[in-house]
Amino acid sequence: MTTMELMGIYITDEIHTARFASRFGNLSLLDNPNILSHSADKNPREQLRALMSGLKPSRMRSICLVIPRRWVFIREVSFANLTPHEAEAALRLSVDAHSHLSKDEIYFDCFAREQKDGSLAVLLYIPKTAIDPYIEILKKTGHIKSLKYILTQDIALDAAIRLSQDAFSLPAASVSFTAEKDAHSLLVTLHGKEGWEGSHLFNIETASQEQVINGLKWLAERLGTPWRDFVEGAELSVGLAPEILPSATHVIQRIPLMQAAMGKGLNPFAICGALALSSYAQLSLYGKRRRPLRVRIQPFYLITGATALACLLATGLLGASYWKNTQKLDEIQKNITALENRVKPLRDTAQQAENAERAVATLNDFTGERPTMEAVLSELAALTPDESWIKNLDISGDKIRITAEGKSALDTMAAWRTGKNFTNVQQVSPVTKDANGVEFFTVEMTIASKKEANK
């Protein structure tokens, strides 16, 4: 598997970067390019242009821009009797009603979480004029396809914390200090069990212990439970020395990767931006957020997958058995067909022999039960009157059909009826007579059995 490069860029009064290599889910710190050291006196846009121009675009690089919290606007909207999914969809449809700028003038993102009697939806947005110059630089330097997220400080920190959430007891509150040319600010981020649950930003003159403690007390008084206790305890801090906030446990001591990166002088929010690319950010002002597979997998997914796999294996075994049996049946069918082809001539010969035997038996029966043909014909000739003669004689089985002519058809038929070797003498056609008085007629009779002939 190819190594991916995760790059976090924190934009403030100057540009800060941090890079990590990701291979099979394992992260390792990469050295930062020395490009920025030659442009420290330039403004952030020129610094970003110098940085990205000095890097070759790569499909294996993912970039996350981290921006100050004070650049963005946050709106919270409560929706009664709606699920989080429905509340988020409703807020996306009504962005214009909750922002001071039109939807076409901002980059925004939404999410919602459950609360009592409904859901709380959060809208995060920023004017496009604040971000577009940086996006344009990435386009012109060929790195725009590598841009995955644009996150605020607090959301990037929340995503980074969740990479090592076994090291933390969530929910928790983190306190971050940023010093810029025109302002010093204290950012308190609320990290819920399931994700980022908001942040609070207020300005302070200096990062003195007194100002930080007073600021946290002021905020704690305005927050409901359980966040009041977490803010007063200040469990996590970034950019604050222990002597300023003694109750805090520094984030860099909890996350080994951050500790190593901070040890090399890297900015913590640039580090969080890079780590967020391997985690899941609750909100992003650019790009499509997608939970990593390890975050999306729930226990019931594993149960469902195991059940499906078991069914698949069982079905596969049955299918293999069925296929083998089918192959055997096809082979048996081929053998049966070959045997039938070999037996067919023998069967035809046997049928012919059986027919011949039946014909011989019939002939034997006939000759045994009937008078001989010589006896029948001799008697027929003897009984025929002198004035009549037989024109045609046909014998079929035990039937005799005679076509004759003579002086009297009645006399001839009467003479034949006196014969012992034939019975049922019947006229089967009308009698016709020519001008000379000769009658033409057809008669049919049955050859008598020996018993009938001997009566």
Helix (H/G/I), strand (E/B), else coil: 406: strand
The identity of residue 179, as a single letter, is A
| Sign of the dihedral through C-alpha 383, 388, 393, 398 | negative
What is the chain's Cα-based Rg? 55
Question: For the whole model, what pTM was predicted?
Answer: 0.63
Q: What is the pLDDT of residue 78?
A: 92
Q: What is the pLDDT of residue 359?
A: 75
Please give the angle made by the CA atoms of 341, 344 and 346, to the nearest 5 degrees.
Answer: 130
Q: Which of 410, 402, 403 is nearest to 376 (CA)?
A: 402
Q: pLDDT (tens digit, 0 to 9) for every residue of the chain, 455 residues total?
A: 578 899 999 998 889 999 988 887 788 888 877 665 555 567 889 999 988 998 899 999 999 999 999 899 999 999 998 998 999 999 999 999 999 999 999 999 998 988 888 899 999 999 999 999 999 999 999 999 999 999 999 899 888 888 776 666 778 888 887 777 666 788 888 888 888 888 888 887 776 777 777 778 888 777 777 777 777 666 677 777 666 666 666 776 667 777 777 778 888 889 889 988 888 888 888 887 766 555 555 566 678 878 888 888 888 888 888 888 888 888 888 888 888 888 888 888 888 888 888 877 766 665 656 777 888 888 888 888 888 889 999 988 788 999 999 988 888 888 888 888 888 889 888 989 888 889 999 999 988 877 665 66
Encoding tokens for residue 385? 């009157």
The rounded distance, in Å, linking the Cα atoms of 173 and 184 is 19
Q: What is the pLDDT of residue 351?
A: 87
Per-residue 3-state assignment (H helix, E strand, C coil) for 182-240: CCEEEEEEEECCCCEEEEEEEEECCCCHHHHHHHHHHHHHHCCCCHHHHHHHCCEEECC
Our CA dihedral for 64, 66, 67, 69, rounded to 10 degrees, sits at 130
Helix (H/G/I), strand (E/B), else coil: 408: coil
The contacts of residue 335 (CB under 8 Å, 6+ apart) are: none
The identity of residue 133, as a single letter, is P
Burial classification of residue 340, based on how many CB atoms lie within 10 Å of its CB (0-12 exposed, 13-18 middle, 19 or more buried): exposed
The rounded distance, in Å, linking the Cα atoms of 326 and 245 is 77
The rounded distance, in Å, linking the Cα atoms of 266 and 277 is 17
Residue 117 CB: number of other CB atoms within 10 A? 10
